[in-house]
């Protein structure tokens, strides 16, 4: 993977009694997001007790990240996902554009730019 790709880590808590709903939404999001042109990775991980989830996402560049956040899949399914989960953490890794930084700031994202050698 190119050092300039954008990586995303999302941490969610799954609401009690909502696991099946969560799994259905996650599967639908996976199908749609993996088809987005600049998506390099889109993986879901669930804790053994089915109460916590992490998603690992990777995009070719800031334009891919923007396309994902502004895309039909995210715009239609993230609100449904947040009805059965709680967003605990959203972290963006890589050098993103000012436009992408402004967008993810609205979601409370922490952005970690690439460390440059001195």
Residue 95 confidence (pLDDT): 95
Residue 56 confidence (pLDDT): 97
**Would you say residue 1 lies in a domain?**
no
**Would you say residue 118 lies in a domain?**
no
How many Cα atoms within 13 Å fall on the side-chain side of residue 32? 18
**Would you say residue 117 lies in a domain?**
no
Could you report the per-residue pLDDT of 17-46, keeping only the tens digit for each? 999 999 999 999 999 988 898 999 999 999
37: domain CATH number?
3.30.70.100
**Would you say residue 11 lies in a domain?**
yes
**Would you say residue 31 lies in a domain?**
yes
**Would you say residue 55 lies in a domain?**
yes
110 touches 96 (CB < 8 A)? no
Number of compact structural domains in the chain: 1
How far is CA 14 from each of CA 47, 69, 114, rounded to the nearest angstrom? Answer: 10, 21, 31
pTM, rounded to two decimals: 0.92
Domain region containing 98: 6-112
Q: Report percent pLDDT > 70 for the chain.
A: 97
Mean pLDDT, range 99-113, rounded to an integer? 95
**Would you say residue 52 lies in a domain?**
yes
Could you report the per-residue pLDDT of 42-72, keeping only the tens digit for each? 999 999 999 999 999 999 999 999 999 999 9
Distance CA 78, CA 3 (A): 28
């Amino acid at each position: 993977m190119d050092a300039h790709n954008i990586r995303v880590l999302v941490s969610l808590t799954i609401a009690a009694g909502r696991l099946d709903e969560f799994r259905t939404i996650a599967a639908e999001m996976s199908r749609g997001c993996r088809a987005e042109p600049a998506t390099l990775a889109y993986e879901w991980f669930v804790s053994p007790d089915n109460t916590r989830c992490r998603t690992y996402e990777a995009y070719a560049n800031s334009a891919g990240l923007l396309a994902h956040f502004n895309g039909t899949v995210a715009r239609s399914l993230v609100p449904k996902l947040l009805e059965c989960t709680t967003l605990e953490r959203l972290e963006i890794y890589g050098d993103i554009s000012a436009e992408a930084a402004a967008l993810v700031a609205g979601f409370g994202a922490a952005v970690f730019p690439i460390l440059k050698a001195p």
